[in-house]
Structure 1
């Protein structure tokens, strides 16, 4: 039986992102009202706000929790071109406005920072960000202090793919000096404005990223960049320069869509691309013993796609990484806003502009079927 609850949000604008902590007992929400709220689940299953604060000077794009072994940390990114690291002070009372405080402000981006994610804990405290200037940045703190973060690498993705990206390995002190001098990324970027690298809020630049969960392959990230529906697989070995491993491209003939018969799509009319097949969200599945990787993507054309990526002996004839689309689902019929795998990589959750959340699971025939649909409007009607 599926159970759900409604959180009486006190955000004054659109909620742009939500993230559970490692244990699933706390939930952080971010909003276009520039605020972050942290919720705590009670013993009766209800959720209450334990802290709320203004975090940025523009709408917040994404938030992420660190692994608990690194302490209570939150990272947030915004259209104000900054990333902020927040640390919790348990000595302060809840709802005091002082429990979470900013310990670092990262200002290297020349465009809106659209996504960020902490690396798997095996690699230590590392934070990857992607922004509309098409730079993938990897940050680390100058331990034992968490107040000074510096970029380990910041490849420009189109240049890296073309093979003419010059490795950038700033000295740790360089990043610290820039922040001590108060350098910023310039005025806040408006929606639709061009960035320094030619990207813009409508199409170009990087939009989303997801870490490979298997430490065997090192620090590897899947990045949605550009407007052609491609996903770039990039390795970030340290201290070696970044390496482009693979492009998952939709230039090949698309598979027939597979809407669920039990849960029909929003519309029977084929979905036409909304300007492009731009990738809006990406999620790398935990391997859990598989000999291949699964990467899910969502895009503006309304499709959820699942890619099978092979490496080593199971890859192409040249032993390089290879990938192919193994499933396409267009049940949402609208832009896909989020895809996310469960902890075993067996169930995929997707949400879209149709206002629905769908759960997907592979059948014995390796076809992905829709297990359930959650409809916010239907839930409201029941109240």
Structure 2
């Protein structure tokens, strides 16, 4: 597997915690312990820094682009307990559309729902809760919480795809979360309330640092990746809705694993580990996972 690699000088004055491309791959957002979000144009071979977004009062852990059907919206979450929704009003001019201050501790992870559900974002916090913020047709926001989702702290959250393979209708709203209790938990919205969809998934022996629910364009089953402080990445699969989840350790990286991210088709998994490596993994026809590339 080969591809062109571009280097970008972020201009941040402290550690960069997250980097996210927008839907079209033409805008790049970065965030850092320097309390800034930076926006870059990265179309083609040209790169240009176009905006600094200042509004957080602590390190910013993650950024996430909304689907372009909602306009140019970017979310950020921080140690300062805030989730901020930023909106581009005119070219390269950004304002704070909404600030959520619903948590008692650091907000560690955010994830936009599939756009088919509307403008909805979930946030995972060290206070043990997950908040789900939904924008109504009048522009007002409603917040619900999953209390005690991970009582000792929630690190990450990811939405399930909106439909299952072969189904023409929208599926049930589902989330996966990871926590400091070493557990991966799947949640389902039932009759207006979020409930655990299955007993906690337990294969990790230390904090779960990240979770990612795979798109199902290329795989006819539910698939979740989890990354842990224990150095392992686990792939969880569910053949059909309601079946038991099965977990398989695909590799022991011998160092904490910080992030996992799926390709658009859900067939390639990128893994970022504590040795500053990013590796790409793919499942064989026999069901074994192997490394196919290292991102240099």
TM-score by length of 1: 0.72
Q: How far apart in 1 are the matches of 2:267 and 2:118?
A: 26
The answer to whether residue 60 in structure 2 is matched with residue 60 in structure 1 is yes
- After TM superposition, give the deviation of residue 234 of structure 1 in Å: 0.3
Name the structure where helix makes up a greater proportion of residues: 1
The equivalent of 1:236 in structure 2 is 189
Q: How far apart in 1 are the matches of 2:35 and 2:198?
A: 36
Q: How far apart in 2 are the matches of 1:105 and 1:90?
A: 20
- After TM superposition, give the deviation of residue 374 of structure 1 in Å: 2.4
Aligned match of 2:215 in 282, 286, 299? Answer: 286
Q: How far apart in 2 are the matches of 1:248 and 1:369?
A: 26
The equivalent of 1:117 in structure 2 is 111
Count of residue pairs brought into register by the alignment = 289
Contact 1:230-1:247 within 8 A present in 2 as well: no
User: Residue 158 and residue 209 in structure 1: after superposition, are their counterparts in 2 closer, same or farther (change >3 A)?
Assistant: closer
SS at match of 2:177: strand
The equivalent of 1:220 in structure 2 is 174
Q: How far apart in 1 are the matches of 2:98 and 2:285?
A: 48
In structure 1, the gaps of 5 or more residues are 160-198, 255-275, 313-319, 376-383
The equivalent of 1:361 in structure 2 is 282
The answer to whether residue 146 in structure 2 is matched with residue 155 in structure 1 is yes
TM-score by length of 2: 0.92
User: Residue 339 and residue 158 in structure 1: after superposition, are their counterparts in 2 closer, same or farther (change >3 A)?
Assistant: closer
Q: How far apart in 2 are the matches of 1:300 and 1:373?
A: 21
The answer to whether residue 21 in structure 2 is matched with residue 38 in structure 1 is no
1:333-365 CA-partner distances (Å, limit 9, x unpaired): 211111011011100000111011000011121
- After TM superposition, give the deviation of residue 248 of structure 1 in Å: 4.5
- After TM superposition, give the deviation of residue 326 of structure 1 in Å: 2.9
Q: How far apart in 1 are the matches of 2:32 and 2:264?
A: 26
Higher CA-based Rg: 1
Aligned match of 2:251 in 329, 333, 347? Answer: 329
Name the structure where strand makes up a greater proportion of residues: 2
Contact 1:214-1:287 within 8 A present in 2 as well: no
User: Residue 308 and residue 142 in structure 1: after superposition, are their counterparts in 2 closer, same or farther (change >3 A)?
Assistant: closer
- After TM superposition, give the deviation of residue 143 of structure 1 in Å: 2.9
Q: How far apart in 2 are the matches of 1:282 and 1:46?
A: 32
- After TM superposition, give the deviation of residue 289 of structure 1 in Å: 5.9
CA RMSD of aligned residues (A): 1.9
The answer to whether residue 52 in structure 2 is matched with residue 104 in structure 1 is no
1:81-104 CA-partner distances (Å, limit 9, x unpaired): 11111100125xx4xxxx111121
